[in-house]
Amino acid sequence: MADATCGVCHTEPKKYKCPTCSLPYCSIPCFKVHKETHAGETPAPVASVPSEIDIPNPPAPKPPPKYLQSKLDFSILATNPKYQELLKTHPTLLSTLQRVYAKTIEPDPDDVRRQQYRDRVLNDRGRGRGRGGRGGRGGRGGGWNKGRNDREPRWTQKIGDNNAMGIMKGIRDGKTSDEEMEGLSAFVSLVEEMYEKKDDKPGG
């Protein structure tokens, strides 16, 4: 039969066990006496802390399409003295550039809907009430339906840039005032002068 007395004083019945060696003891005074026997012992090893999880690096972003790779940084143009001089000698140049730039920005959906509505109204008025009765040929409301079916394609950056280039081409072809054409021509020459030199540099 196992000893039921305290392992320290050997007189009182055991009530507790030492957390280090499981020796039974009866009271706190006996535990303090026994605890001194463990004073010089090496403490139990602490569980090692796991190393940081190696998180793999995210994949590199896809390269931009060739269409966007060809874009130039025009920020240095605004501070160029020759450009500042062009704005003075050609007063219409700034408004021309603003009009061209506006085409490269996605239009507000509400503005697009209002413009489409105006176009449809003008289209219906242009058809008049002649052949085909109300709404022209095609019967009642023919012009309105055509306007709904012939919606413009969804705006993209490429479409916006193409529209801007179309405005520039019209100006350079003389479809606007001579003053606007001369101003834009001088601006294009300056851009070509600045950025062609940059591209001609070794490694550029």
pTM greater than 0.85? no
DSSP 8-state class, residue 75: G
Instruction: Give the separation between CA 26 and CA 15, rounded to whole angstroms.
Output: 5
- What pLDDT is attached to residue 88? 92
Place of tokens 């019945």: 13
pLDDT 10s digits, 82-128: 999 999 999 999 999 999 988 888 888 777 777 777 777 777 776 65
